[in-house]
Structures are given as C-alpha cells and as structure tokens.
Chain A
Amino acid sequence: MNEAPSAATGALSRENARAFLHQMLRIRRFEEKCAELYSAQKIRGFMHLYIGEEAVASGVMPELTDDDAVVATYREHGHALARGLPMNEVMAEMFGKAAGSSRGRGGSMHIFSMAHRFYGGNAIVAAGLPLAIGLALADRMRGQNRVTCCFFGEGAAAEGEFHETMNLAALWQLPVLFVCENNTYAMGTALARSESNPDILAHAQVFGIDAEAVDGMDVVAVNAATARAVEAIRAGNGPRFVEAKTYRFRAHSMFDPDLYRSKEEIEAWKQRGPVIHFKEAAAAAGVGEDDIAAIEAEIAAEIEAAVAFAEAAEWEPVEDLTRDVTTPADEATP
C-alpha cells in the first residue's frame, strides 16, 4: 500500500517529501506511457489522463486506511495507483488482458479492486456519488467506523445525482469524504459557462456540509485538508467536502482536439504544476537531484516491467465471453 505518511502535522520530512514526489512522478510517467501506448494502439477506446492533477490523488490517499473505500471516475488511473493497485494489473487492464485488475473486461474507465476497496472507475459522470453514499450507509448501519472517499469532477456538480447525494449524505450524516477535482472543464465546457453559481463549495454548503477549498497543485495542502476532513468524519461528524482546484494539462481524452482552451492558459497552469510546485518544497526537505534521478529510474523500471507484463499477458478466451454476468441459478441460493 501507499508508504507516504501524512504531512498534516506541519514540517515536511524528507521521507514524506520523497514519498509524495515519487507518487506524483509515478502517476505522471504512467500516464505518459499510456498516451504512447494509446498512439501505438495497444490501448483502445476512451482514455482520460490525469496529467497535471497528480497532487490530488497523491495528497488524499495517504490519509485513507486499507479499510476505507475509494470511489473514482473514468479518470482514475492515478487514483488506482495511489491506492495501491499493482501497476502490472492496471496496465494489463488498459490492454484488456485477463491479468488486468478487472480481468480485462473494463478497460481504462472501469478499474476495480475489491482487495483495495477500490470501487471503480465509472464512465457516467456523478454516478459514483450514490454508490459512495451507499457504501457509507452500510458502514453506518453495521457500526463500522470507516470512511468512503468519493472523487469526482466539477462537471458532476451539475448532475441531479450530485444534489441528491449531497442531500442524502447530510440528511443521514454519512461518513463520506467528497473530493471534487475542479479542473474547470467538463470535457470542453468551462465551469463559468455551465454553472449559474460556479462556487463549488456553495453546492455542498447549501446542504449543510462542511466544505473547504484547497490548491490542488499543492500536494501538502491537499494532504493537510484531507487529514482535517477525515479526522472529522472518523469522529462521527458527518460528511465532508474538499474542493481541490486543479487543471489537466492534456485534453479531456485521447479523442479531444482541445479547441476550447488557449495554449497560454495551459502553459500558465503547467508552470504551477504539481511536480514543479513541489520540487522546491522537496528540495528544502532534503530531496535533491540525485534522489529525483533515483526516483525516476525506479519508476521507469516499474513501468517497463508493467508494459512487459501487459504485453505478455494472455487474452481471455472468447469461449468465456458470457461469464460473470449473473450468478447461475444453481449457485444463486444456498
């Protein structure tokens, strides 16, 4: 699982800094490799890259225990990796191989791992929110004190499911951490063009949910905000909402010609990107150029191994096409 301890207590230790940097770079390089593989047609369908947003998943995950649950979206590669799913399995899933985390059946948008309480991976915007409150409801009803962490984009705030979920979470005081990754674009539509009130926090606060905005490019700030929120949830104080202001450097998906934003805007955000942003803080904590080189080498090796694993992995036989749809009658009842 993730080895980066919380940085919430103030001073950034060298160990923590190294861990945050490693995770963000690991996600970055993985996504870059996926882009290459997609162009080489090894990965097909829809693929949504997390490049630029790495600080959010990297900052949030260390605050969750193995026992907590994670619900994510179709832009979930970074979340899956930060949650601890083996890179081999995630890469094999991207390829559609049987050794993939969802046995190849889901692909990029449907990465699942019950072993990591990682409930996907969802291609319907906002559909993960009702799922998340359901997971949390079960925990509450069974007296299990654990957190369900639900990631979604700001585009989800327009969906009816979002409002229904906020209401239910507040009404039933469910132990959910809502993390809104506001990258200001829902596919090609800027938030200002789609929301009568673009204040995302207000969308949660109107239901009485404590909400906080944080610089999503600052992994330490994300981590600290998450720690505060998770502590409140574990204390039984109901749901919490963190808005991480972030930005994706690549297009919405591999199909997106990215016509709706200016090159200047993208470049400006790149200059404040999560890795660039953090290298100074990391250097101050004692993570030098040699450390970074070692990290990059380790990551490169891990990715190379994952690609080799995926390439070598088997395809599921076509004869198995209709398995895992529903439980057969003779197995359905004990």
Chain B
Amino acid sequence: MTGTREISYREAIREALREAMNRDERVFLMGEDVGAYGGAYACSKGLLEEFGPERIRDTPLSESGFTGAGIGAAINGMRPIVEIMTINFSLLALDQIVNTAAAIRHMSGGQVSVPVVVRMATGAGRQLAAQHSHSLEGWFAHVPGLNVVAPATAADARGMLWTALEHPDPVIIMEHATLYNDRGPVPAEGDTAVSLQGAVIRREGKDATIVTYSANVKKALAAAETLAGEGIEAEVIDLRSLRPIDDATIMASVAKTHRAVVVDEAWCTGSFAGEIVSRVAEQCFFDLDAPPIRVCSAEVPIPYPRHLEEAAIPQPETIAAAVREALRK
C-alpha cells in the first residue's frame, strides 16, 4: 500500500459501511441494535443519525426472520447488509442461509440471485463462555453457494465490504471479536476495495508454513517472531477467504517449506483446518517432510475462567510449539 493511515478494524468497518451507503442507495444495514445502540461492537455508531432508520434498520430479536427478509430484499433489488450480532446467534438463521441463500440460485436453475452480505462477529478470548465463543466459520465454508471471508486486518475489513456488496451471490463476512480494537494501515486515499479471494503471505519464511485466518493470523505472526529468535523462519499465510480457498498460495508455500501447520480456533474434529490439511495431503504429499499439524481449540465447550479459556484456544506459544514439532520430525 502506498500512502496509508492507521485506523482500527472497527473504524475500518464503519468507514466501509458509510462509503457503501453513500455510494449505492440500495445498500442498507439491518440487524439487532445496529441503529439506536450504535452496533453491539460500535461498528455502526453514528450511522443512524447520518442515514436514518430506514437504511440503518434496527430489527427485533428474530434472526431467522430478518435474515430471510434480507435475503428477500436482496433478491428484489436491494443490497442489504444483514448484521447477525454474533456467529453464536447465526444458528437461528442457519436455515435461511443454507436452505435459501446458498441453494436458491441452483434450485431455480440459475434464475435467482441473492446479493446479500451477512456480517457476524465470531470467536473466543473474552471470557464469554460456551454460548458466546463459537468459531463455526467452517460450517458456512462447507456449503456450496456461499462465499465466506474472514478479514484479519483493518485494510481487509475496509476493503472487503464493497467487493462483497458487488458480488451477485451471498457473502458472509466473519469478524473475529478480538480484532475490533486492533489498528492497522488502510489506503490514505483512492479505492480501498480489495478482492474477496486470494490468500496473502503475511510473513515470508523458508522453514515451515503456518496457514490460518482471522484472529489467529496475529497469533501466528507472534509465534513467527518468537521462532525467528530461535533461527526458525516460519511463513504465515492469511487465508482471507474460507470459501473459495486459495490452494495455489498454500501449496506453493508448502512446496517451499515442506512443513505445514494449520491454526484454527474451531474444535479439531470436523474443523476447517481439517479441510486445509486434506488439501495439503492431496496436493503436496510428496513435498512434506513431516505430517501436517493442526492447532485447534480443545474438545471442550469454551469455559469461562481466563486460564481455562486461554488453555482451550490456540495461542502463540502452542503455535510455535507445533512448528518446532513439525521440524523435529
């Protein structure tokens, strides 16, 4: 990026929302507490005053109802942004997302397009306990017909929204709740829109490939810092998109480093990380010098006490340990 300014992930989203609303009158935001409350994570703070209650539309607690309504509005010419407060509550809207948004293009023989954007906050790390700490991104990435992205940086949070709104099909934007305060560079001027696709190498290295997404990108980078002090150069890949997956970037890296560590805050069993490992095994088997390693959450509903929650989810130390393990073999 030439010419940048530093803003928070939250500010990036707010700017992106404001820009989208100004650029296209079909765009509107709907969800619980997006208006008068200013957004559960303050992403839409101030927007109600700026754009009014029709376009910054507070909804009742009706995830299925308002997500379905967003889908219908998108089908009929609007460009809604449906904010489901967190991925934990998205389970109530899963039918509308999976059985309508994802499927209707195909079921209708290509007639119906659903240009809806669904944003949701995800993840653990704030002692919110089992029902408010899910990482179910993989469930959405599982479904053909959906596009799923997980911006890990302010620049991606800033730039993915407009591209998502232009997409004729559903795009789910996963925003890890621990990222909102993080500051990062965004373009100082000009077009901020970024592609929804393509993984990015956030740190180059030759000794091991760490593949991850969302809040684990910064944890992987912290692990890479530590490892560099030990003479181990880890390459960190930020997937950015969970559906579709950028195989090419992953495999080029693994072909170079011969070791793969996949970090995912989901539980290991049936995880999205398992999908990455499968692809690496299928496409890079003979490039590997060690079995791929997954660093995922422990098989336990996320517990409340801080020390237990920290032990349950991936940490820089456990990521670094996995890389060392991969190199030991």
Query: Footprint of B on A, CB under 8 Å?
Result: 69, 100-106, 110, 112-114, 119-124, 127, 129-139, 141-142, 160-161, 164-165, 167-168, 171, 323-327, 329, 332-334
Min Cβ gap A151→B in Å is 15
CB 8 Å contact bits of B158-197 with A (1 = contact, 0 = none): 0000010011110000000000000000000000000011
B145 touches A130 (CB 8 A): no
Chain A residue contacts of B111, Cβ below 8 A: 102, 112-114
Chain A residue contacts of B129, Cβ below 8 A: none
Which one of B4-12, B13-21, B70-78, B314-322 is at the interface?
Answer: B70-78
Q: Which of A102, A142, A171, A327 contacts B109 (CB 8 A)?
A: A102
B75 touches A332 (CB 8 A): no
B112 touches A112 (CB 8 A): yes
How far apart are the CA atoms of A135 and B68 in the complex, in Å?
A: 10
B66-99, CB < 8 A from A: 66-78, 95-96, 99
Chain A residue contacts of B113, Cβ below 8 A: 327
Name the residue on A nearest B69 (C-beta): A134
Q: Which of B68, B77, B78 contacts A131 (CB 8 A)?
A: B68
Min Cβ gap A217→B in Å is 31
Which one of B57-65, B222-230, B268-276 is at the interface?
Answer: B57-65
Chain B CB within 10 Å, residue with most, of A133, A165, A332: A332
Q: Which of B77, B96, B109, B169 contacts A112 (CB 8 A)?
A: B109
Name the residue on A nearest B78 (C-beta): A138
Query: Footprint of A on B, CB under 8 Å?
Result: 26, 28, 54, 59-60, 62, 64-78, 95-96, 99-100, 104-113, 144-147, 163, 166-169, 196-197, 244
B100 touches A131 (CB 8 A): yes
Chain A residue contacts of B28, Cβ below 8 A: 141
B107 touches A105 (CB 8 A): yes
Given the known inter-chain contacts A112-B111, A120-B107, please indicate yes or no for A325 contacting B144, CB distance below 8 A.
yes
B110 touches A103 (CB 8 A): yes
Chain A residue contacts of B65, Cβ below 8 A: 129-130, 133, 161, 164-165, 167-168
B167 touches A333 (CB 8 A): yes
B76 touches A134 (CB 8 A): yes
Given the known inter-chain contacts A131-B68, A326-B169, please indicate yes or no for A121 contacting B62, CB distance below 8 A.
no
Name the residue on B nearest A138 (C-beta): B76
Since A110-B108, A165-B65, A168-B69 are in contact, a sample of 14 more A-B pairs with Cβ atoms closer than 8 Å, ordered by chain A residue number, is A100-B109, A102-B107, A102-B109, A104-B109, A123-B99, A127-B96, A130-B68, A130-B71, A134-B71, A136-B72, A324-B105, A326-B146, A326-B147, A329-B244
Given the known inter-chain contacts A142-B77, A326-B147, A332-B166, please indicate yes or no for A130 contacting B107, CB distance below 8 A.
no
Chain A residue contacts of B167, Cβ below 8 A: 327, 332-333
A120 touches B104 (CB 8 A): yes
Chain B residue contacts of A123, Cβ below 8 A: 99
How far apart are the CA atoms of A285 and B149 in the complex, in Å?
A: 63
How far apart are the CA atoms of A210 and B134 in the complex, in Å?
A: 41
Given the known inter-chain contacts A121-B107, A135-B73, A161-B68, please indicate yes or no for A332 contacting B112, CB distance below 8 A.
no
A161 touches B64 (CB 8 A): yes
How far apart are the CA atoms of A102 and B76 in the complex, in Å?
A: 18
How far apart are the CA atoms of A114 and B168 in the complex, in Å?
A: 16
B62 touches A168 (CB 8 A): yes
B169 touches A327 (CB 8 A): yes
How far apart are the CA atoms of A110 and B103 in the complex, in Å?
A: 11
Given the known inter-chain contacts A326-B144, A333-B163, please indicate yes or no for A168 contacting B96, CB distance below 8 A.
no
Min Cβ gap A47→B in Å is 16
Given the known inter-chain contacts A127-B100, A325-B106, please indicate yes or no for A332 contacting B70, CB distance below 8 A.
no
